[in-house]
């Protein structure tokens, strides 16, 4: 296993050493098969922690179908938006920039996230940019648009979540409608949003399944391909959902989705 790869070798945008968190980075999980794509894995944890069950195990799972993975250690509270979005965008750029070095297909770089990490993955897929062609840093010349995204019981819409979620990320109680919209993945879907894999359980009492249904409706409106799975069993934060009837099938369904989209 290689050591963690820093997202930025030099100055990290919005980094504050006084907060006491390490600089953001990527933990690589190479599949050993050349020419496949790669996934940036964003564990959940309410932007307060990185849930271990949603990091390394997910990376190992996608390795089984030949896809490479990088577990992203993005910034957590008390960092505020857009620091976390900067991190996931940079992760996509960096893997794309170094794809030849790692025998990765640069046209198949995706993002997989869980819960709050699912929110981050969905934001990466709906609020990307094409890169700066004049940047000195080679990675910054790359697009931050993922080629697919997967949100597992993620906060895909702000319509069915506590207002405190957005307020914490913004660090303010008087956020404007425009500021809130920046954090709402479903509200930012457009014709360039990449294909999606979404799953949720109908029993989730922490992040409502209605957010994933909202996302599916938004994707439908722009004719963006997606695979939506709503399972009847299990609550929230299931990770790979081992032992949960039907829900435990999602990793295999997702691996088939990846291969179908050329990963």
pLDDT of 3: 87
Q: Is 47 left (phi over 0), alpha (psi -120 to 50) or beta?
A: left
Q: What is the CATH number of the domain that holds 113?
A: 3.40.50.1820
Mean pLDDT in residue range 178-188 = 95
pLDDT band at 173 (very low <50, low <70, confident <90, very high): confident
Rounded to whole angstroms, the Cα distance separating 246 from 43 reads 22
Rounded to whole angstroms, the Cα distance separating 15 from 217 reads 36
pLDDT of 251: 98
Instruction: Output the average pLDDT for the chain.
Output: 96
What is the domain range of residue 76?
5-260
Read off the DSSP letter of residue 253.
H
Number of structural domains found in the chain: 1
Q: Which burial class, exposed, middle or buried, applies to 20 when counting CB atoms under 10 A from its CB (0-12, 13-18, 19+)?
A: exposed
Q: Assess contact for 150 and 112: CB atoms under 8 A.
A: yes
pLDDT band at 67 (very low <50, low <70, confident <90, very high): very high
pTM: 0.97
- Tell me the C-alpha to C-alpha distance, in Å, between residue 112 and each of 44, 61, 134, 135: 10, 12, 29, 27
pLDDT of 2: 66
The b/e string for 226-263 (b: 16+ C-beta within 10 A; e otherwise) is bbebebeebeebbbbbeebeebbebbeebbebbeebeb
What phi and psi, each to the nearest 5 degrees, are found at residue 110?
-120, 175
Rounded to whole angstroms, the Cα distance separating 67 from 7 reads 21
Mean pLDDT in residue range 49-61 = 97
Q: Is the pLDDT of residue 236 over 80?
A: yes
Q: Is the pLDDT of residue 1 over 80?
A: no
Neighbours of 119 (CB within 10 A): 30
Mean pLDDT in residue range 65-70 = 98
7-33 tens-digit pLDDT: 999 899 999 999 999 999 999 999 999
């Amino acid at each position: 296993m290689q050591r963690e790869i820093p997202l930025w070798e030099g100055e990290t945008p919005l980094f504050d050493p006084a907060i006491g968190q390490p600089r953001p980075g990527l933990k690589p999980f190479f599949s050993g098969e050349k020419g496949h794509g790669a996934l940036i894995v964003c564990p959940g944890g309410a932007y307060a922690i990185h849930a271990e069950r949603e990091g390394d195990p997910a990376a190992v799972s996608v390795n089984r179908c030949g896809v490479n993975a990088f577990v992203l250690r993005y910034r957590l509270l008390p960092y505020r938006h857009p620091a976390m979005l900067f991190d996931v965008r940079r992760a996509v750029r960096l893997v794309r920039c170094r794809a030849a070095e790692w025998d990765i297909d640069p046209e198949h770089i995706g993002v997989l996230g869980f819960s709050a990490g699912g929110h981050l993955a969905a934001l990466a897929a709906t609020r990307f940019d094409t890169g700066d062609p004049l940047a000195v840093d080679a990675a910054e010349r790359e697009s931050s648009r993922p080629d697919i995204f997967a949100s597992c019981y993620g906060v895909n819409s702000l319509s069915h979540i506590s207002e405190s979620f957005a307020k914490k990320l913004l660090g303010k109680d008087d956020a404007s409608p425009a500021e809130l919209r920046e954090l709402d993945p479903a509200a930012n879907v457009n014709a360039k949003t990449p294909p999606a894999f979404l799953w949720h359980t109908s029993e989730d009492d922490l992040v409502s399944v209605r957010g994933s249904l909202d996302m599916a409706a938004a994707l439908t409106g722009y004719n963006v391909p997606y695979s939506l799975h709503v399972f009847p069993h299990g609550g929230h934060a299931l990770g790979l959902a081992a032992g949960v009837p039907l829900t435990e099938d999602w990793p295999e369904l997702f691996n088939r989705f990846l291969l179908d989209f050329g990963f």
